[in-house]
Amino acid sequence: MLIKRAPRFKASEITDHRLYLNRREFMLGAAALALLPTATQAAQASAAGQPLAAKRNPDYVIGDKPTDFKSATTYNNFYEFGTDKEDPARLGHMLKPRPWTVQVDGLVHKPKRFDIEEILRFPLEERVYSLRCVEAWSMVIPWIGFPLSALLKQVEPTGKARYVEFTTLKDPEQFPAQKPSLAAFGGVEWPYVEGLRLDEAMHPLALVTVGMYGQVLPNQNGAPIRIVVPWKYGFKSAKSLVRIRLTEEQPKTAWEKSAPQEYGFYSNVNPAVDHPRWSQATERRIGEFMRRKTPMFNGYAEQVGSLYAGMDLKKNY
């Protein structure tokens, strides 16, 4: 969910976000009022902003300063709400993160539907990961969650399971960009589907994420449950999950179907492989002016490099 043809970081992008929204609301006029949350919608999204306790795991903390919360929650890619970076925060009130369940099935011995409240009872920990986007920008976020492997072990994958497929909610009433009149605009086939190899999914860095910055996930950041895979580009970290399915065949992901020449199945951060429309060799952290070199596997090469031993990482992009 990362195609953006406009150049990054114009002066308008550092304008105070509230001023930007005020100007936008003024220009849109009465039409924008329909997008404001009603009391009912606010009640349905009551989990937003609630504190979520978790102990920081010192084994998964990078030394860089976290991105400020305002930037991390107002500059997002979430095409179900729209293609503009401001759309998820502007329209996030339309998502109803309670009640919510996630079906985990496929090639498993014990398929199960998990309620979000049950998922929140898993032992939670806080990890500080960098999330890298193919548009050459990144953030450092203190995520809250638990290893994806802990969830998969509960359903007991069979010996035939080789891949894990993730599916996002499809509901045009909650995700306005999924409406038929707008569906073609973002170039994505709904519902959004992503996937990992089973060994990638079982790696301890892969995180089932239910919170950030000490609170439950905001709607615009993938509430109520998403995946974070820190050595891959951000679009691999599927949001607002409703199904996790184990398969023998490699899943066909949303961006592979939409733009296979640009987005491959693996989507590992590899500064040596340019996107067809921009370089991946450097990045700019949100909140910083200077660019920095992009590290291999987003800085996690020591931990995950062995997963791809012997692979041609330019062919398997």
Count structural domains, the chain. Answer: 1
**204 cis-preceded (ω within 30 degrees of 0):** no
Q: What is the mean pLDDT of residues 66-95?
A: 96
Is 116 part of a structural domain of the chain? yes
Close Cβ partners of 135 (under 8 Å, ≥ 6 residues apart): 2, 4, 8, 278
Q: Can you give the residue range of the structural domain that contains 216?
A: 11-308
Residue 183 — pLDDT band, cuts 50, 70, 90?
Answer: low
Task: Identify the pLDDT of residue 185.
Answer: 57
How sure is the predictor about 38, in pLDDT bands with cuts at 50, 70 and 90? very low
Residue 161 lies in a domain: yes
Separation of alpha carbons 84 and 78, rounded Å: 9
Domain of residue 278, CATH code: 3.90.420.10
pLDDT at 16 (0 to 100): 44
Strands 193-197 and 163-168: antiparallel
39, pLDDT greater than 70:
no
**Which whole number is the average pLDDT over 263-288?**
94
Q: Mean pLDDT check: name the lowest of 18-32, 73-87, 137-151.
A: 18-32
Candidate from 5-19, 36-50, 162-176, 264-278 with smallest mean pLDDT: 5-19
Computed over every residue of the chain, the mean pLDDT equals: 87
Q: Which pLDDT score is estimated for 197?
A: 98
**What percent of the chain is modeled with pLDDT above 70?**
83
| Per-residue confidence band for 49, with pLDDT thresholds at 50, 70 and 90 | confident
Inform me whether the pLDDT recorded for 184 exceeds 70: no
Length of the chain: 317
Provide the 8-state DSSP code for 164. E
Would you state the pLDDT for residue 295? 96
Give this prediction's pTM: 0.84
CB atoms within 10 A of CB 25: 15
Average pLDDT over residues 128-134: 95
218 in a structural domain: yes
Residue 316 lies in a domain: no
Band of residue 188 on the pLDDT scale cut at 50, 70, 90: confident
Pairing mode of beta strands 282-285, 137-147: parallel
Please report how many Cα atoms fall inside a 13 Å half-sphere around the Cα of residue 156, on the Cβ side. Answer: 3
Q: Which residue has the tokens 């498993």?
A: 108
Distance CA 194, CA 178 (A): 17
120-142 mean pLDDT: 96
- Is residue 304 included in any domain, yes or no? yes
